[in-house]
Structure 1
């Protein structure tokens, strides 16, 4: 057991990053709208995430560099290099600032179910105190600038979140046979395409590829450690996927069609299973919000420092300045209740475009002898990689279709 915990790496942080309030909401809508029918999409998402995150971890351990550093050094043409860096910085930094507000708001929704909605009235502005509390917790953990401290804190929060959603799913007394069918037999229900793509998109997160490559080199420094990184990735992503599936299962038990968010799910469960279900879900929502509130600014800092050639030391002034800006913007948007629709729309478009671009960059780099030598992709890894690249292109097109109402589907 001691060795097991000793070899835990960034895997739980990656799981924590993709199970944010957005994932909770998408999984809730999938369960309410389609029951167990879309569980197979989560299985597909888990496989895709494992494949891409393993590549990212392998790159970080073998090169001891982050993904953004490798992209900056490997693209030789100055114009292409400038465009690649501009796209990555705009999508990750501005996108993460927008999503940070959603992460903090999600954590607030969890706390509000337990402690109510305390607020401060300053002039015409009503400031949500809980947003500031969550922001301060994230600030303290990030400012410590120590990977091991972050790792322990997030492992605790992910465990708490996992148990909360697992217990919630068990309380609903689901049909096990139907769950197995839903997970193993792909079915497209009416109007389910965008929900399927949303489930994939909320799990296969572009910034996680940067975050993973940067964090593995904080934990491991030798090629022989690759076995530990792979096991860490495999276990954490599967457990994270199971948490998402538990949310879908919980939501499938709700008969009402008025459930539009995770907070509605908490209220929907209460008449059926008592107030305990609401509290379990509230704890899970709080944990998912705060873990993502930590990892989103962290990823933005790694990406920015890598793209601009700055030091990626977590205690450096520039590194801290980046995550502080992201965190402050998130707290500001969340606490003041600012509807940053245009920013979030930009983030959706940028990240929708970014996923196939980054997946393409990653597969390209993973096949370079000059970067990885004998640790480059095998034929099997490339087959999986290109299949996932195809799915990510579909996701990109669907995102653009949804945002701009192009009526392509």
Structure 2
């Protein structure tokens, strides 16, 4: 790595620095995405594909900035927040971030458990226990350094992508309609707005923004500006590649749901119903591929969520708890939801709305730090990139405000109920 950073040409040099964005990209393919994307495709066909594209572009921008801040400052976003904001502000940020981490883990844990339950016919509680054991076992790979963990997560990402590539070939896709939905922004009614906010909450993830800034810290330590510039360049390329893959997987989810369910099964809004409906529509292989990808998504994203939770706690309050305890604490909300008899898919969708509301906290903090020359030097974000990031954050804040307005029972002007 040192030779490459020093400018020595080497074939495949970028692969040495590949990994942080791959891990962060898992957050953009978690079971919460399945819930919102299925509901979007089944209920509105291809009409909300543009939301997935917009959310993915915003995610690329913020993940690239997060990695940049970690590389240049040598600190993660939570640590910078603790050092630069007043204690009351830091405390509130930590609480909101922990709530977001719990909402994240609820979606991820439930998704993996639901997939196992449906695939093997187990009670949901058994699926939860197996998911907990498997995710903890994968977390132990972190003891061997960052590379073993990256390889495991990378393999699960490849499995998710392969499953959805197969789904696209099986489903009867109207590609003209898909392109139109991708390029034509529209919100048919108020329910579509709720789903759109859920898609953004499921795509641009608060814990991923925190995590990425920390994953780059120990990648290659250097104080040389030229070497930092090379690290930022490699990081930007990796973000584009990893999140482009994640974006295509999300689009494939919506396209599959639109192709299979929108005509004749528009009421499909739950993962369980989607699975049972897929078998007669597209065959057993398509249904099995769907559940396999869901299980891989739930397990991998639950691992990444636990890593992010550890980093958030360590950064904000300088506390580090054992991984098994962190895993146990974040499982509690999922077990409570199941014990209360709540609908698993509805819980997934609502968790994504919670995430969308929590999202402005890391987004705003990240932009405040990224634009500061005293912290970032010549790597400070400015010009068109800064304004695009501000626009993205503004869009998220605006959608959150509209959602709160709608949740209060007030009509949204211009949208049918």
TM-score by length of structure 2 reads 0.86
Residue number in structure 1 paired with 2:4: none
Pairing 1:138–2:135 present: yes
Partners of 2:164 and 2:253 within 8 A in 1 = yes
Distance 2:329 2:301 in 1: 12
1:375 and 2:368 equivalent? Answer: no
Which residues of 2 match residues 335-354 of structure 1 at below 5 A?
336=339, 339=342, 351-354=355-358
Shift of 1:190: 3.1
Partner of 2:52: 42
User: Structure 1 residues 269, 89: closer, same or farther in 2, change over 3 A?
Assistant: same
Contact 2:29 2:297 in 1 (8 A): yes
- Tell me: CA distance 1:136–1:251, structure 2 relative to 1, closer, same or farther (3 Å): same
RMSD: 2.6
Are 1:206 and 2:206 an aligned pair? yes
| Alignment partners' CA distance in 1, 2:132 and 2:40 | 29
Once the 2 structures are TM-superposed, how far is the Cα of residue 349 of structure 1 from its aligned partner? 7.5
How far, CA to CA, are the matches of 1:169 and 1:330 in structure 2? 34
Residue equivalent to 1:385:
389
Partners of 1:63 and 1:322 in 2: CA distance: 30
**Matching of residue 197 in structure 1 with residue 197 in structure 2:** yes
Does structure 1 conserve the Cα–Cα contact (< 8 Å) formed by 2:93 and 2:361?
no
In 2 relative to 1, CA 349–182 (structure 1 residues): closer, same or farther, beyond 3 Å? closer
Indicate yes or no: 2:100 matched with 1:99.
no
Deviation at 1:273, TM superposition (A): 1.4
Match of 1:306 in 2: 315
Work out the CA distance in 2 between the residues paired with 1:263 and 1:347.
17
| C-alpha spacing 1:290/1:182, structure 2 compared with 1 (3 Å) | same
Question: Is the Cα–Cα contact under 8 Å of residues 99 and 330 in structure 1 kept in the other structure?
Answer: no
Which of 320, 323, 336 is matched with 2:323 structurally?
320
Distance 2:354 2:117 in 1: 32
* Alignment CA distance shift 1:34-1:16 (3 Å): same
Contact 1:65 1:214 in 2 (8 A): yes
Number of aligned residues: 389
Q: Distance in 1 between matches of 2:12 and 2:340?
A: 45
User: 1:102-131 CA distances to partner (integer Å, 9 max, x unpaired)?
Assistant: 322211222233211157xxxxxxxx2221
Distance 2:358 2:267 in 1: 33
Match of 2:93 in 1: 88
- Cα offsets for 1:154-184 (capped at 9, x unmatched): 1111110111122112211312222222112
Distance 1:158 1:344, change over 3 A: closer
Using the alignment, how far apart are the partners of 2:278 and 2:305 within structure 1? 30
Secondary structure of the equivalent of 2:321? helix
2:148 corresponds in structure 1 to 149
- Checking the alignment, whether the CA contact within 8 Å between 1:27 and 1:244 is kept in structure 2 is yes
CA distance in 2 between counterparts of 1:63 and 1:131 reads 39
CA pair 240-368 structure 1, distance change in 2 beyond 3 A: same
TM-score, with length taken from structure 1: 0.87
Equivalences for residues 53-92 of structure 1 within 5 A: 53-75=63-85, 81-92=86-97
Give the secondary-structure state (helix, strand or coil) at the position aligned to 1:318. coil
Unmatched 5+ stretches in structure 2: 1-10, 223-227
Partner Cα distance (2:348, 2:112) in 1: 18
